[in-house]
């Protein structure tokens, strides 16, 4: 696909809501997973520290 302007690129041929919406949902899922991973790692460290292991 060739776009003549940035506006046409961001409009994505009329499918901008679906394309950019998909990117937004994917980015939110990845961010959620990173936050959950950090939370689980901290909880594991606290559990191990409470048992006397580091």
Does the CA dihedral 10-13-16-18 come out positive or negative? negative
What confidence score (pLDDT) does residue 53 get? 65
- H or E, element range at 27: helix 16-50
Residue 19: CB atoms within 10 A of its CB come to 13
**Residue 4 token pair:** 């003549």
Residue 23, pLDDT score:
96
* Phi, then psi, of 47 in degrees rounded to 5: -65, -45
In this prediction, residue 14 has a pLDDT band, given cuts at 50, 70 and 90, of confident
* Full-model pTM: 0.72
Q: How confident is the model at residue 1 (pLDDT cuts 50, 70, 90)?
A: low
* The pLDDT value given to residue 5: 87
């Amino acid at each position: 696909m060739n776009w003549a302007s940035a506006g046409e690129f961001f409009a994505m041929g009329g499918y901008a809501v679906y394309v950019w919406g998909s990117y937004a949902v994917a980015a939110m899922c990845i961010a959620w997973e990173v936050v959950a991973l950090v939370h689980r790692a901290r909880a594991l460290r606290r559990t191990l520290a409470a048992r006397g292991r580091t």
